[in-house]
Amino acid sequence: MNDTKLILVLADQLCTQQPALKAAVPGRDIIVMAEVAEEASYVRHNRHKIALLFSAMRHFKIELEAEGYQVEYLSFESGTPSLEAAVASVIARTEVSEVVICEPGEYRLLEQMKYFWSSALGKPVTLLEDDRFLASHNDFADWAKGKKQLRMEFFYRKMRERYQILMDAGEPAGGKWNYDADNRVGWRNQVEIPSRPDITPDEITASVIDLVNAEFPDNPGDLARFRLAVTRTDAERQFDWFVENALGDFGTYQDALVEESPWIFHGLISMYLNAGLLEPLAVCERAERAWREGKCSLSAAEGFIRQVLGWREYIRGIYWLLMPEYKTRNTLEATRPLPNYFWDADTEMRCLSRAIEQSLDHGYAHHIQRLMVIGNFALLAGLDVMEVCDWYLAVYVDAYEWVELPNTLGMALYGDNAVIASKPYAASGKYIQKQGNHCQQCRYKPTKVTGPDACPFNSLYWRFIDKHIDKFGNNPRMGLVVANWRKRDPDEREVIVSWADKMIEDWT
Ligand code: FAD
Ligand code: DLZ
Ligand code: SF4
């Protein structure tokens, strides 16, 4: 009996420790990897993302072959339309008994594979749970069961205990679970930002860059600036560099907004974690070791570990717990079309223009730019939630729906019926001014609420509170803001809201 298995490896599953590859037998099974039009164009992906994935796949193929695996690699030039077509074409010219795949990270693809592939391909299709994450679907569902509120903080504490990260004799290291309060320092040019080590694209990457430039002329992304790691070894080097040179200041300036640097002291590792080039537990353990060896403060290590062990796993848990219904939510009924400047950064709002520009050019913006600049603006202006989500899915090099959707719809847009955020992450220009130095370069004034030079975030903020006051009035975390707004002179309120109403067409 022929027991050769066809193992499909997706572009974001590039490690031998993923379950489908763990089950593969060199010499017997056939590994299939494919660069396909459907995956490369279901949104207008940033060219950096396509180049990263195609080049990393091509490098991974070489590694697998060196380990004795037979790999059928369909490059983009083969014109393969979809992953299903790729698998079908290999089945047609080989003898395989079964198709085995580590489950994909997007519901859209999971549904196709689960319900349609087996009959279309005429072979059994086995989907294995992706165990590269630290909480399984069942773990998360068990934790969520019976809870009225699914707060990240309590999930995170469970994960710390379970994996014994930053724990001392059953207690959180240093006596506190969370050092978030130390992580909100605004940028005033206090310390030098270290320059990032350069990775020169090798021949494989250079030819992928040419391909992507030629095939995706209308996508965002300036590939002359492509400096991403495309192998595990280089991704690990990048992470080592971060631990040695930036982790120390990561916590303090995690929320800072800086004109001069798109990444400040951030890790720049989400694209590697999500593609399989780094492992979440290993990076957490390394950050803990750095603290225990005295290389960084506890608050820096904890701040970093909370993101990976807490937020990243929690966000994924929410996605799989609540999809597909989750994607249909739109709590604040936000439907205003996305302004064109989301695709060319041409706006006079300096903070927004800088954040959008670097997102388009590099495929990267750090968390506070995504949440409190771009997301905050979309929230205040009532931009259409699905258009905004599709934009985030397109422009970032680390974007896959399992992580992009809950962050955008739930955290940034307060659109998921308050599952992720207990109050909207809404802020006026004052917050952006406090966190950094964009306002100094802006034609608007963060101190003004109305008038031609007033910061648009200010009147939009109060318009947002006014518009949704019925929804927020009973929210204890919004009580003070709502009370302050109600206390204001009605004429003054009217002036602010009408100014925002009058100007919103200009700003959006
Ligand atoms: P660092 O600041 O160095 O943090 C370390 C790591 O923690 C990150 O690499 C990431 O793996 C993890 N992390 C931190 N916050 C989150 C979070 N909220 N959710 C999941 N992981 C987190 N992250 C993505 O990986 N893909 C996305 O598509 C994505 N979309 C986002 C959309 C919005 C609106 C918001 C507010 C956040 C989004 N994030 C997304 C989360 C976060 O902004 C990025 O993970 C982070 O900016 C990546 O940069 P970094 O590696 O330098 O992160
Ligand atoms: C994002 C992406 C892109 C751009 N291209 C491919 C591809 O050509 N082949 C492939 O196997 N995967 C690709 N991907 C990643 C898939 O879309 C990804 O597996 C799903 O988004 C699920 O996370
Ligand atoms: Fe942004 Fe307003 Fe500051 Fe300009 S003044 S940079 S729009 S917060």
Return contacts of 260-263, CB within 8 angstroms, 24+ apart. Answer: 260/193, 261/193, 262/358, 262/362, 262/364, 262/365, 262/366, 263/196, 263/364, 263/366
Protein residue closest via CA to atom 5 of ligand 3: 446
Which ligand sits closest to the CA of 86?
2
Pair (101, 143) in one structural domain? no
Measure the CA angle with vertex 488, ends 485 and 494; round to 5°.
85
Does residue 409 contact residue 421 with C-beta atoms inside 8 Å? no
Would you state the pLDDT for residue 181?
Answer: 77
For a ligand 1 pocket test, name from 45, 180, 315, 367 the mutation site with the most ligand atoms within 8 angstroms of its C-beta.
367
Continuous segment of H or E residues that includes residue 226: none
Contact between 183 and 255 under an 8 Å Cβ cutoff? The reply is: yes
Q: Which of 293, 322, 351 is the last residue of a domain?
A: 322
Which atom of ligand 3 lies at the shortest distance from residue 438's CA? 6
Statement to judge: residues 41 and 110 lie in one domain:
yes
Number of domains the chain contains = 3
Q: How many whole angstroms separate alpha carbon 352 and alpha carbon 358?
A: 10
Q: Which CATH number is 43's domain given?
A: 3.40.50.620
Same domain, 250 and 161: yes
Residues 6+ apart with CB under 8 A from 122: 91
Structural domain contains residue 215: no
Ligand 2 closest atom vs CA 402: 23
The answer to whether residues 272 and 147 belong to one domain is yes
Q: Is residue 122 part of a domain?
A: yes
Asked which of 99, 128, 157 is the last residue of a domain, the reply is 128
Q: Whose CA is closest to atom 3 on ligand 3? A: 439
d(CA 279, CA 272): 8
Residues with CB under 6 A from ligand 3: 349-351, 429, 432-433, 438-439, 442, 444, 446, 455-457
**What pLDDT was estimated at residue 472?**
87
Residues 6+ apart with CB under 8 A from 17: 132, 279
Nearest to 184 by CA among 379, 372, 412: 372
- Write the single-letter amino acid at 181: A
Low-confidence ranges of the chain (pLDDT < 70): 1
302 and 405 both lie in a single domain: no
Q: Can you give the CATH number for the domain in which 424 is found?
A: 1.10.579.10
CA–CA separation, 360 and 345 (whole Å): 8
Helices (H), 24-82: 37-41, 47-66
225 in a structural domain: no
Contact 366, 16 (CB under 8 A): no
| Ligand 1 lining (C-beta closer than 6 Å) | 266-270, 273-274, 304, 307-308, 311-312, 315, 366-367, 370-371, 375, 392, 396, 398-399, 403-404, 407-408, 411-412
On the question of a cis peptide bond just before residue 324, with omega within 30 degrees of 0, the verdict is: yes
pLDDT score at 1: 59
pLDDT of residue 407: 98
- Chain-centroid distance of CA 100 in Å reads 27
H/E element, 70: strand 70-74
Question: What separation in Å is there between the alpha carbon of 280 and the centre of ligand 1?
Answer: 13
| Euclidean distance between CA atoms 342 and 340, whole angstroms | 5
- Angle of helix 456-467 versus helix 490-507 axis, rounded to 10: 120
The Å distance, Cα 217 to ligand 2 centre, comes to 19
Q: Report the distance separating Cα 226 and Cα 233, nearest Å.
A: 17
CA atoms within 13 A on the CB side of 465: 25
Q: Tell whether 366 and 486 lie within a shared domain.
A: yes
**HEC-encoded secondary structure of 454-470:** ECHHHHHHHHHHHHCHH
**What beta strand segments (E) does 239-314 contain?**
none
In terms of domains, do 394 and 412 share one? yes
Joined tokens for residue 260: 């001069």
Kindly give the interhelix angle for 280-292 and 232-245, rounded to the nearest 10 degrees. 30
Cα 236 to ligand 1 centre (Å): 18
**Boundary of a domain, candidates 322, 351, 373:** 322
**Inside any domain, residue 301:** yes
Does residue 208 sit within a domain? no
At 130 the three-state DSSP class reads coil
Task: Give a yes or no: residue 11 inside a domain.
Answer: yes
Q: Please name which ligand lies nearest the alpha carbon of 38.
A: 2
437 Cα–ligand 3 center, Å = 9
Look at ligand 3, atom 6, and give the residue with the nearest C-alpha. 439
d(CA 238, CA 243): 9
Question: Which atom of ligand 3 is closest in space to residue 446's alpha carbon?
Answer: 5
Residue 189, pLDDT score: 81
Quote the CA–CA distance of 508 and 425 in Å, as a whole number: 19
Based on the domain organization, do 156 and 80 belong to the same domain?
A: no
- Name the residue at shortest CA distance from atom 8 of ligand 3: 429
Distance 57 CA to ligand 2 centre (A): 10
Ligand 3 atom with the smallest distance to the CA of 432 is: 8
pLDDT in tens, 140-163: 999 999 999 999 999 999 999 999
Same domain (yes/no): 149, 118: no
- Cβ-based burial of 470 (10 A; exposed 0-12, middle 13-18, buried ≥19): exposed
Residues ≥6 apart with Cβ < 8 Å to 32? 6, 7, 8, 9, 71, 72, 73, 74, 86, 87, 90
**Inter-residue contact 140 to 321 (CB < 8 Å):** yes
Q: For residue 300, what are its two tokens?
A: 């820096």
Torsion sign, CA atoms 258, 181, 364, 16: positive
CB atoms under 10 Å from CB of 182, counted, come to: 16
Measured in angstroms, how far is the CA atom of residue 398 from the centroid of ligand 1?
Answer: 8
Looking at the fold, whether 108 and 24 belong to one and the same domain comes out as: yes
What is the phi/psi pair of residue 167, to 5°? -125, 140
The answer to whether residue 227 sits within a structural domain is no
Q: Is 493 domain-assigned?
A: yes
Pairing of strands 98-102, 70-74: unpaired
Q: What is the CATH number of the domain that holds 289?
A: 1.25.40.80
Could you tell me if 348 and 447 lie in one domain? yes
The CA-based dihedral angle spanning residues 247, 250, 251, 254, taken in that order and rounded to the nearest 10 degrees: -160
Q: Over pLDDT 90: what percentage of the chain?
A: 93
Residues in the chain: 508
Ligand nearest to the CA of 306: 1
For the CA of 73, the nearest ligand = 2
Task: State which residues form the domain around 146.
Answer: 137-194+246-322
Residues 381 and 292 in one domain: no
Beta bridge partners, 454, equal 445
Please name which ligand lies nearest the alpha carbon of 460.
3
